[in-house]
DNA sequence: TTTTGAGTTGTTCGA
DNA sequence: GTCGAACAACTCAAA
């Protein structure tokens, strides 16, 4: 009997849910008491510990998970410090004989987890990891010659020629609590919430709980999903899923999302198909990150190592603060700051302006997004920025330079989005909302806009910026040729 | 091994 | 206003 009481540790990471959770299932099947654990191990995250917005979300997700566990008489044991050390300590304190977790795919984490697994097994414990985060493990999808894919379309075709896995049923009620609980730290002491009131608008924008994610999924599938092909491009509408932070923290799993979608809509048709492809891009990003682990800092395309970026603190800061003088871009940057999220169409535009017009390194943009996005995800963020800069998988060709006025007119024709996030321009007529500097003095005065004072002039002329970007690419070709010669 | 067709999201220019 | 071509060349994936 006493040996039966030796518990299992269930190590939560980015899988903060009690359903479709294979590590939880393994712990239950093992038949021992279950001790759920979360370890705050910022050093273990390498160069990418959670940014400010992510920490806000994490705080609430952990609080929510604690409440869900309590329903079943379970607690979430919180520890901080090195994962290896914390786990060994817990094993010692509790007499645990097994540790279960769900995988992560960042290079530093893979290395760390591998050492932990070997170390635990060396001590005679059962240590097993599972897949809760992806539809397809990165190493299972191979091109005909056996290597990883670098192009999305054939990658996704191969994925879909397999069947999409179903969610795994989990029954947390079957998890039994231990005879006694080890010590836990207090979530509040981790001070994950920002000190100032940066997050004051986050609460209106998000319900960072499992239930909130589920509600969002159903609202999306009942509404915007049907017109996703069009609506996802209109930042003034609620046309996207907004599920990315739930996916990042594992409050919803991609298997659950796909399965729910399939129960309501034909996943092969119309808007639903477009959305499933977005899940595919998430998978593809993980595929690339796994097979090319340096990509968070190094361009996938090696010739971009020579790209003549022109880092400039002032330009970067103007961009970060939403003061570039381009209303669509500024609206996006301010939405990001206010809500921890930015519409996808606008993400492409702000990224294009930063790396093309302003010639700032894509890594600087990625770092800012990492700190300010509630959905900051190393795989998706990296691939998104590399794609924008033209150095990533299936990168946008160098000559694809977004025109922020044209994009604004096409996707935000009445300026709804700009008016919401750049209120000092709200009274401008539609005709000038995306290029106020072309309005007459009378129109500006009528709208209460004083260019250069209440709202900045463009930091760079569009045509000039575009040409600068095209010229930089010319230089890149030159460098690439030189380097192959030598 | 060689060949062939294709590759998320755009802009501009000229007919 | 609309439409197609040019913007480059390369690499990937599969036959």
pLDDT in tens, A398-451: 889 999 999 999 999 999 999 999 999 999 999 999 999 999 999 999 999 999
Closest to A157 in 3D by CA, of A141, A146, A135: A141
Structural domain contains residue A51: yes
pLDDT value, residue A4: 57
Structural domain contains residue A117: yes
Q: Please say if the pLDDT value at position A3 is more than 70.
A: no
Q: Please say if the pLDDT value at position A165 is more than 90.
A: yes
Look at chain A and report how many structural domains it folds into.
Answer: 3
Residue A113 sits in a domain of what CATH number? Answer: 3.40.50.620
In terms of domains, do A49 and A141 share one?
no
Which entry of A137, A344, A424, A437 is annotated as an active-site residue? Answer: A344
- pLDDT above 90 covers a percentage of chain A that reads 92
Residue A286 sits in a domain of what CATH number? Answer: 1.25.40.80
pLDDT value, residue A68: 98
Residue A125 — very low, low, confident or very high, per pLDDT cuts 50/70/90? Answer: very high
pLDDT value, residue A399: 85
Q: Please say if the pLDDT value at position A484 is more than 80.
A: no
Structural domain contains residue A102: yes
Active site residue A186: no
Residue A458 sits in a domain of what CATH number? Answer: 1.10.579.10
Structural domain contains residue A48: yes
Residues facing residue A36 across a β-bridge? A10
Contact between residue A267 and residue A225 where contact means Cβ atoms under 8 Å apart: no
* Collapsed DSSP state (helix, strand, coil) of residue A234: coil
In terms of domains, do A213 and A242 share one?
yes
- Mean pLDDT across A163-174: 97
List all nucleotides in chain C with at least one atom under 7 A from a protein Cβ. 7-9, 11-15
What pTM, to 2 d.p., does this model score?
A: 0.97
Residue A2 — very low, low, confident or very high, per pLDDT cuts 50/70/90? Answer: very low
Structural domain contains residue A104: yes
- Mean pLDDT across A241-264: 98
Structural domain contains residue A194: no
In terms of domains, do A158 and A16 share one?
no
In terms of domains, do A269 and A375 share one?
no
In terms of domains, do A257 and A114 share one?
no
Structural domain contains residue A256: yes
Neighbours of A161 (CB within 10 A): 8
Q: Please say if the pLDDT value at position A481 is more than 70.
A: no
Instruction: Answer with the one of A291, A314, A339 that is the final residue of a domain.
Output: A291
Nucleotide nearest A158, from its CA to each C1': C13
Active site residue A190: no
Considering only residues A352 and A485, tell me which one the structure prediction assigns the higher pLDDT: A352
Q: Which helix (H) or strand (E) holds A98?
A: strand A98-102
Structural domain contains residue A454: yes
How does strand A126-130 pair with strand A34-40? unpaired
Instruction: Answer with the one of A291, A318, A333 that is the final residue of a domain.
Output: A291
Q: What mean pLDDT is reported for chain A?
A: 95
Instruction: Answer with the one of A131, A152, A184 that is the final residue of a domain.
Output: A131
In terms of domains, do A408 and A432 share one?
yes
Nucleotide nearest A153, from its CA to each C1': B7
A484 touches strand C (CB under 7 A): no
In terms of domains, do A35 and A95 share one?
yes
- Mean pLDDT across A377-396: 93
Kindly report the backbone phi and psi dihedral angles of residue A22, in degrees, each rounded to the nearest multiple of 5, phi listed first: -65, -30
Nucleotide nearest A484, from its CA to each C1': C10
Protein residue ranges contacting nucleic strand B, Cβ under 7 Å: A 151-153, 233, 277-278, 281, 344-345, 348, 384, 387, 394, 396, 399-403, 406-407, 410, 462-463, 466
In terms of domains, do A138 and A121 share one?
no
In terms of domains, do A226 and A331 share one?
no
Q: Where does residue A136 fall: left (phi above 0), alpha (psi -120 to 50 degrees), or beta otherwise?
A: beta
Contact between residue A77 and residue A40 where contact means Cβ atoms under 8 Å apart: no
Kindly report the backbone phi and psi dihedral angles of residue A77, in degrees, each rounded to the nearest multiple of 5, phi listed first: -85, 120
In terms of domains, do A461 and A393 share one?
yes
Residue A107 — very low, low, confident or very high, per pLDDT cuts 50/70/90? Answer: very high
Q: How far apart are CA A422 and CA A172, in angstroms?
A: 46
In terms of domains, do A127 and A236 share one?
no
In terms of domains, do A74 and A220 share one?
no
Contact between residue A46 and residue A107 where contact means Cβ atoms under 8 Å apart: yes
- Mean pLDDT across A377-398: 92
Query: Domain range holding A51?
Result: 3-131
CA of A210: how far to CAs of A247, A262, A394, in Å? 10, 20, 34
pLDDT in tens, A298-344: 999 998 988 999 999 999 999 999 999 999 999 999 999 999 999 99
């Amino acid at each position: 009997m006493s040996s039966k009481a030796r518990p299992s540790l269930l190590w939560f990471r980015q899988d903060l849910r009690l359903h479709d959770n294979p590590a939880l299932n393994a712990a239950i099947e093992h038949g021992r008491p279950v001790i759920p654990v979360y370890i705050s191990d910022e050093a273990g995250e390498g160069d990418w510990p959670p940014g400010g917005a992510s920490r806000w979300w994490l705080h609430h997700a952990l609080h929510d998970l604690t409440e869900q566990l309590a329903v079943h008489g379970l607690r979430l044991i919180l520890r901080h410090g090195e994962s290896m050390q914390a786990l060994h300590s817990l094993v010692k304190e509790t007499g645990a004989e097994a540790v279960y977790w769900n995988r992560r795919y960042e290079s530093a984490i893979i290395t760390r987890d591998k050492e932990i697994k070997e170390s635990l097994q060396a001590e005679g414990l059962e240590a097993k990891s599972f897949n809760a985060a992806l539809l397809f493990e990165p190493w299972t999808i191979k091109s005909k010659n056996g290597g990883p894919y670098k192009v999305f379309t054939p990658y996704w075709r191969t994925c879909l020629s397999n069947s999409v896995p179903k969610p795994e049923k989990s029954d947390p009620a079957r998890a039994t609590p231990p005879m006694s609980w080890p010590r836990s730290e207090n979530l509040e002491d981790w001070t994950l919430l920002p000190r100032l009131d940066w997050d004051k608008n986050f609460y209106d924008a998000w319900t960072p709980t499992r239930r909130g994610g589920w509600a969002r999924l159903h609202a999306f599938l009942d509404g915007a999903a049907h017109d996703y092909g069009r609506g996802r491009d209109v930042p003034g509408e609620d046309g996207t899923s907004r599920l990315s932070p739930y996916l990042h923290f594992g409050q919803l799993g991609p298997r659950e999302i796909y399965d729910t979608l399939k129960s309501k809509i034909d996943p092969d048709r119309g808007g639903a198909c477009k959305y499933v492809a977005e899940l595919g891009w998430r998978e593809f990003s993980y595929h690339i990150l796994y097979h090319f682990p340096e990509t968070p800092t190094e361009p996938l395309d090696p010739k971009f190592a020579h790209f003549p970026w022109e880092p400039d603190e002032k330009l970067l800061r103007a961009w970060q603060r939403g003061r570039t003088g381009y209303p669509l871009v500024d609206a996006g940057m301010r939405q990001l700051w206010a809500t921890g999220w930015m519409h996808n169409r606008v993400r492409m535009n702000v990224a294009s302006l930063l790396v093309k017009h302003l010639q700032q390194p894509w890594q600087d943009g990625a770092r800012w997004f990492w700190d300010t996005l509630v959905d900051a995800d190393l795989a998706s963020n990296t691939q998104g920025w590399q794609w924008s800069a033209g150095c990533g998988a299936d990168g946008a060709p160098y000559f694809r330079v977004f025109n922020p006025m044209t994009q604004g007119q096409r996707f935000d024709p009445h300026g709804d989005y700009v008016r919401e996030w750049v209120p000092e321009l709200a009274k401008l007529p539609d005709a000038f909302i995306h290029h106020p500097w072309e309005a007459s003095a009378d129109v500006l005065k009528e709208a209460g806009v004083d260019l250069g004072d209440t709202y900045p002039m463009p930091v760079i002329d569009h045509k000039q910026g575009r040409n600068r970007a095209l010229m930089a690419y010319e230089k890149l070709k030159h460098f690439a040729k030189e380097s192959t010669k030598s």
